[in-house]
Structure 1
Amino acid sequence: MPDLALQVLLLLFLAAMLAGFIDAIAGGGGMITIPAMLLAGIPPLQVLGTNKLQSLFGSGSASWAYARHGHVDLKGQLPMVLTAALGAVGGALLATVIPVDWLKWALPFLLVGIAVYFGLKPDIGHVDRHQRMRPQVFALTFVPAIGFYDGVFGPGTGSFLMLGFVALAGFGILKATAHTKFLNFGSNVGAFAVFLVHGAVLWKVGLLMGAGQFLGAQLGSRFAMKQGARIIKPLLVTVSIALAIRLLADPQHPVRVWAASF
């Protein structure tokens, strides 16, 4: 049914465009693209691999837009991006051999915690604050840990990176958003390489959605730079809570299964 296939591809393009817009500001784009591909009938493993391909376009596009306006030094942040990519390679390799149910258990509660932190923290704005962790330590510990998480599971990676940049590195929220996108690009590259080796990438779908991601990320990053903390903070809180609800809405989520046993 060629007409139906064309309609599905168009919907996936639009879903990716919306995801790119949201992801460029607050992360959480996978909350839109992964369910969209599953509803289109794409097998789960191919969904994960293809999602990493199309995410490269969104995170890369947003990174470039933020860099052009001086919010992130791409060359200076390259070592940190490499540690994120290496962490993601390890995570994706682990995801191919062991279950990750324990991550599914914890993730909704961690996301709610992030939403509470940003929602109740009144002094998060454009101005950088005191660093709680030296840049070298941050790059060699926190960054590869989140990259590893992105490779092994993924949802909420942007929120975790934002939390680290604000709470540990002392970045203002717009600067944290810009750096989050560049590190997320690195972790996407690492995980994508693993899925590519395993033949889990649908190129036609991934490239089409990548075009949508690129456009959405350009719009989202420009919107974020114009509005700053006024839009980034509430959207980050909203996306974190929405992602937690989306995860718990799955009847197969371990928490739901556990609750149903009583």
Structure 2
Amino acid sequence: MEITVELLGLLFIVAVIAAWVDTLAGGGGLIVLPVLLFCGLTPVQALATNKCQGFVGTLTATMTLIVKRKLSVRKLPVLMFYTAIGALTGTWLIQQINTDWLQWFVPVLLLSIAGYFWLVPAVGAEEGVPKMQEKTWARYVVPVIGFYDGFFGPGTGSFFAASQVALRGKKLIEATVVAKPLNFVSNITSLLLFAAGGQVIWLIGVVMMVGQMLGAVLGAHSIYWGGAKLIRPIVIFMCIAMSVRQLWLIV
């Protein structure tokens, strides 16, 4: 493929938009991956390069939230550890087995999350009663989501946030904030394995990194500008959009 200045400019804009959406609700890969494939990258190169630019967005969002004192780092090391273990395992396993069943499983999973937020409008508006202890969630749910990101990827931020709302009774805003550093860890872990295999197109990745920084900063501020009223419809839309796109490809 020929990498032109015009192409890099387009990908920069795509990265800004994707980072803003991903910071608020997850699913930025829905925007980036089709564009990278359309530009001529192979599926593996597109996935690897998406991780390359995506980790910068989640890192920028995390640092912005820490600076704004909206994110507590006290419990993050343990959660990051379990996320990394899951992502490492998923990234390794995706290269070893047949994954045809994911074509149907993932859309169903995403539509379930969209339906949950749609049918329960007040979900995440107020803190609820936890259905699972924090240690249990950290040890079992977090690594599973990390595994999913390394294994496949789309919607990881949504899964991190939704699991906290549904299982830990957290507010949607709080859950979305905590999802950022966990998504960063799963991204960077997968990226290291892809980079070792020489699958990252670095020129495209670096340009999109800059766009991700800008979009993530805007997204981190937007979390508190619009609150749950902004995040909830984006979560629903992104889950449905990712599902429709996946089903469209396999029908």
TM-score (norm 2): 0.95
2:195 maps to which residue? 196
| Structure 1: segments with no counterpart, 5+ residues | 257-262
Amino acid at match of 2:88: V
State the shift of 1:71 in Å.
2.8
The 2-side partners of 1:76 and 1:151 are apart by 22
The answer to whether residue 88 in structure 2 is matched with residue 63 in structure 1 is no
The answer to whether residue 79 in structure 2 is matched with residue 80 in structure 1 is yes
Deviations 1:18-46 (A, max 9, x none): 00000010110000111111111112111
**Contact 2:23–2:180 (8 Å) recurs in 1:** yes
Cα separation, partners in 2 of 1:70 and 1:170, compared to 1, 3 Å: farther
State the shift of 1:138 in Å.
0.8
State the shift of 1:128 in Å.
2.1
After superposition, residues 93-132 of structure 1 pair within 5 angstroms as 93-132=92-131
The 1-side partners of 2:241 and 2:121 are apart by 21
Cα separation, partners in 2 of 1:71 and 1:130, compared to 1, 3 Å: farther
The answer to whether residue 239 in structure 2 is matched with residue 244 in structure 1 is no
The 1-side partners of 2:128 and 2:16 are apart by 33
| Structure 2: segments with no counterpart, 5+ residues | none
The 2-side partners of 1:145 and 1:27 are apart by 17
**Contact 1:18–1:216 (8 Å) recurs in 2:** yes
Specify the SS of the correspondent of 1:132.
Answer: coil
State the shift of 1:77 in Å.
1.0
The 1-side partners of 2:73 and 2:49 are apart by 25
2:233 maps to which residue? 234
The 2-side partners of 1:125 and 1:228 are apart by 10
Specify the SS of the correspondent of 2:216.
Answer: helix
Deviations 1:73-97 (A, max 9, x none): 1342121012111111110101112
The 2-side partners of 1:69 and 1:130 are apart by 27
Amino acid at match of 1:74: V
Specify the SS of the correspondent of 1:127.
Answer: coil
Runs of 4+ aligned structure 1 residues displaced above 4 Å come to none
After superposition, residues 1-262 of structure 1 pair within 5 angstroms as 5-250=4-249, 253=250, 256=251
Amino acid at match of 2:98: P
Amino acid at match of 1:28: G
Specify the SS of the correspondent of 1:71.
Answer: coil
State the shift of 1:5 in Å.
1.0
**Contact 1:124–1:229 (8 Å) recurs in 2:** no
1:259 maps to which residue? none
**Contact 1:126–1:228 (8 Å) recurs in 2:** no
Deviations 1:165-191 (A, max 9, x none): 100121101001111111101111111
Amino acid at match of 1:20: A
The 2-side partners of 1:91 and 1:75 are apart by 26
**Contact 2:124–2:165 (8 Å) recurs in 1:** no
TM-score (norm 1): 0.92
The 2-side partners of 1:249 and 1:34 are apart by 15
**Contact 1:56–1:185 (8 Å) recurs in 2:** yes
Give the RMSD, CA atoms, in angstroms: 1.5
